Copies of this chain bind each other. A is one copy, B any other.
Amino acid sequence: MKRQLHLNLFIQSRGHHEASWRHPDSSALALTDIEYFRDLARRAETGLFDSIFLADQLALADTVAHAASTWLEPITALAAIAGSTQRIGLIATASTTYSEPFNLARQFGSLDHISGGRVGWNIVTSWLAPAARNFGGAGLVSHDERYERGEEFVQVAKALWDSWADDAVLDDRASGHYARADRIRPINHEGKFYRVAGPLNMPRGPQGRPVFVQAGSSETGRRFAARHAEAVFTAQMEKSTAQEFYADLKKLAAAEGRPSEHVLILPGLSPVIASTETEARRLAQDLNELTDPEVGRKRLSGRFGGHDFSHLPLDQPLTPEDFPDPGTVQAARSRTEVIVGLVRREQFTLRQLLAYLAGARGHYTTAGTPEQIADLIEEWFEDGAADGFNLMPPLLPSMLDMFVAEVVPILQKRGLFRTEYEGTTLRDHFGLPRPGTSSS
């Protein structure tokens, strides 16, 4: 069978364009209304998407006065969505820095049971400085220590998910044997950051473990992804850098002894779609006109560890010297490097940079007809830039609907995308193996 494309719907605000929440085409529902999320999940399932994804940050953004930057907590939201969907995968973000492995392993295990094996875990180490202040931290843990802790956290969580063999439950009423005690084992983990005895207090889920998703792009982040991730979300501003990233991560995964097809690379893609290119460009322009440069300025500051950009004029070309050295920013380091590189190359003014980032925060944005979007997808997919896409519709639900109604059929016609779900779990959709346990 021909290699198949994978599609994930990234749900955020009323769309990924910063101004989506103000646009008349975006949903009228409140962002605290679970029906908004359920409805989007069902629409994505109609389009046979592999999964939906909820990002997360553990602090309120300082842009809340002028940006719709609130959402429901991902694990609870996906548990609620599970009952309104049958097949689509459900990927929740959760932090290795600010949660306990035992709690997280239980909640994801429970979610895997609840959803019939559809859960994925987007593993983040939480770079946002304000998050630390909600968790007792005086200062932010360093980039390297976050990953060191994350590494150990993943080991512990894996061991907990594997602490029950798949055949441990007997539930034999006649004999009174509920479980085979010798198939449930303590993990007795004693490491630098965690001491966890185990076993987990729950039988193993349908998928064994949730699908591991990761989005770190720094060198440390890539090594982490190469070891653990089964799907990788990545922000790429052009095809050539996406190809470099793709080749690098597949190589790193191979060096870890992992088959390259077990690490799916899914770049972000935020397409404005309309029946003509002119119309698509006009819609993109409408969205840009709804943005507030002061919201963008604050967000930029947040990305650069709180650096003050307030003195910079909006309409003068920027230079790399206007930014702090990315190496000194304890944050999403690779993204800051990309932004500084972009400023150097494009000679953007601050206004232009903010408009660029307003589209999808540094992910790939484009505007075109369904045919043009399908061409782009096919090209990246065939040219070693992507195994599929993390779709970030600029407006929700309208741009998702356009994609499902107009782009998906083209991809299907070209034999690139499924015409029905072939399995029931997220592992099935992604073509990933189900992990065994040491005892099975």
Contacts and interface: CB of A to CB of B under 8 A. Distances in A.
A65 B180 contact: yes
A100 B135 contact: yes
Nearest to A13: B178
Interface stretch (A103-111, A252-260, A387-395): A103-111
A58 B102 contact: yes
Given A64-B181, A98-B103, A134 B72 contact: no
A96 to B, nearest CB: 13
A70 B110 contact: no
B110 A76 contact: yes
A136 B21 contact: no
A75 B107 contact: yes
B114 A34 contact: yes
Contact of A111 (B76, B102, B177): B76
Contact of A100 (B66, B77, B98): B98
A76 B79 contact: yes
Contacts of A202: 32, 70-73
A41 B285 CA distance: 49
B201 A70 contact: yes
Contacts of A177: 65-66
Contacts of A79: 75-77, 79-80
| Secondary structure type dominating chain A contacts | loop
Contacts of A83: 34, 38, 80, 83-84
Contacts of A194: 136
Nearest to A22: B173
Given A77-B110, A98-B100, A110-B72, A176 B136 contact: no
A111 B72 CA distance: 9
Q: How many copies does the complex hold?
A: 2
A109 B32 CA distance: 10
A201 B57 contact: yes
Interface residues of A, number: 76
B22 A176 contact: yes
A417 B134 CA distance: 43
B134 A197 contact: yes
Contacts of A137: 195
A354 to B, nearest CB: 15
A83 B41 CA distance: 14
Interface in A102-137: 102-103, 106-107, 109-111, 113-114, 130, 133-137
Contacts of A174: 22
Contacts of A201: 57-61, 70
A247 interface: no
Interface in A25-80: 30-34, 38, 57-61, 64-73, 75-77, 79-80
Interface string A150-194: 000000000000000000010101101111110010000000001
Given A60-B200, A133-B195, 10 more contacts: A32-B113, A59-B201, A64-B184, A65-B178, A70-B179, A70-B203, A76-B76, A76-B114, A80-B80, A134-B197
24 contacts: A21-B173, A22-B173, A30-B169, A32-B202, A58-B102, A60-B184, A64-B178, A64-B179, A64-B181, A65-B178, A66-B177, A67-B178, A68-B171, A75-B76, A75-B79, A79-B80, A80-B83, A83-B84, A98-B100, A99-B103, A133-B195, A133-B197, A136-B196, A176-B290
Interface of A: 21-24, 30-34, 38, 57-61, 64-73, 75-77, 79-80, 82-84, 98-100, 102-103, 106-107, 109-111, 113-114, 130, 133-138, 169, 171, 173-174, 176-181, 184, 194-203, 205, 290, 292
Q: Which 4 A-B pairs have the closest CB atoms?
A: A79-B79, A73-B110, A133-B197, A60-B201
